[in-house]
Amino acid sequence: MHYILNSKPKNPVIVEGFPGFGLVGTIATEYLMKHLDAKPIGCIRMEETPPVIAVHDSTAIEPMGIFYSKKKNMVILHALANVQGYEWKIAEILANIAKELKAKEVISLEGVGTQGNVKSKNAKAYYISENKKFKSKCGEPLEEGIIVGVTGALLLRKDIKCTGIFAETHSALPDSRAAAKILCVLDEYLKLGLDYTPLLKKAEGLESNLKGMVGKTQDAVTLADKKRQSYFG
């Protein structure tokens, strides 16, 4: 596993989002890329998994692309690949990128499963941050809970500053509304001037596209694994 950076902006904020509950991190970073006019500057490559890419509008999409918004000095990691089993390595890669760019901090965007039948419009957003002055009208501080995955691995590191922003969601369906809640908290924190109303209006289309793209990626990985296993059995 390694990363490629074709450009090295100085002192950016790094925002990452991986597929997880409700695809919230992926949806939120996708919206950030488009809204902030972020351009591709690199990627993370995982030789440990089959080489599977998604194609959208006749363009190959990096499973873990790195983008940069010059006007907000923000580096965005947009992930379509399932990184289960490689969370520690991904966190290490992100920490190395943060150190190389002298990033101000790394912000993780993620959906968390809800208990019961909490509707998306009533779901809450939470945050945990090393910045003790971090406050948000859109979210609440996470006082009790369990954080897993890349975000959990990042929050345990002492060599980089990390903030996690979460929104309640259901894992069965992509949830753009939960992504909008996360973006509301992020917008308050970084003063990005985001307008996430279109995210709510276009929720169905965006959810459908991403669900299809991620689903095809996972199907291709499964097929590749089956082919690889057939060589030995």
Q: What is the DSSP letter of 1?
A: -
Cβ proximity of 98 and 10 under 8 Å: no
Asked if pLDDT for residue 104 goes beyond 80, the answer is yes
Can you give the residue ranges of every domain in the chain? 2-210
Tens digits of per-residue pLDDT, 191-221? 999 887 776 765 555 555 666 666 666 666 5
Percent of the chain past pLDDT 90, that is, above it, reads 43
Average pLDDT for 131-135: 81
Considering only residues 9 and 224, tell me which one the structure prediction assigns the higher pLDDT.
9
List the beta bridge partners of residue 43: 4, 65
The reported pTM is: 0.82
Asked if pLDDT for residue 48 goes beyond 50, the answer is yes
Q: What is the DSSP letter of 100?
A: H
Tens digits of per-residue pLDDT, 57-79? 777 788 899 999 999 999 999 99
**223: helix, coil or strand?**
helix
Average pLDDT for 167-186: 85
Averaged confidence pLDDT in the chain: 83
pLDDT category of residue 230 using cuts at 50, 70 and 90: very low
Asked if pLDDT for residue 232 goes beyond 50, the answer is no
Q: d(Cα 216, Cα 226) in Å, to the nearest integer? A: 15
Asked if pLDDT for residue 13 goes beyond 90, the answer is yes
Q: d(Cα 224, Cα 12) in Å, to the nearest integer? A: 37
Angle at 87 between CA 78 and CA 218, to 5 degrees: 60
Q: Residue 167's pLDDT is what?
A: 92
Q: d(Cα 4, Cα 225) in Å, to the nearest integer? A: 26
Q: Residue 219's pLDDT is what?
A: 61
**Residue 33 corresponds to which tokens in the numbers above?**
């890329």
DSSP 17-36: E-S-GGGHHHHHHHHHHHHT
Most confident of 90-104, 123-137, 179-193: 90-104
Cβ proximity of 149 and 18 under 8 Å: yes
Which CATH code fits 2-210?
3.40.50.10900
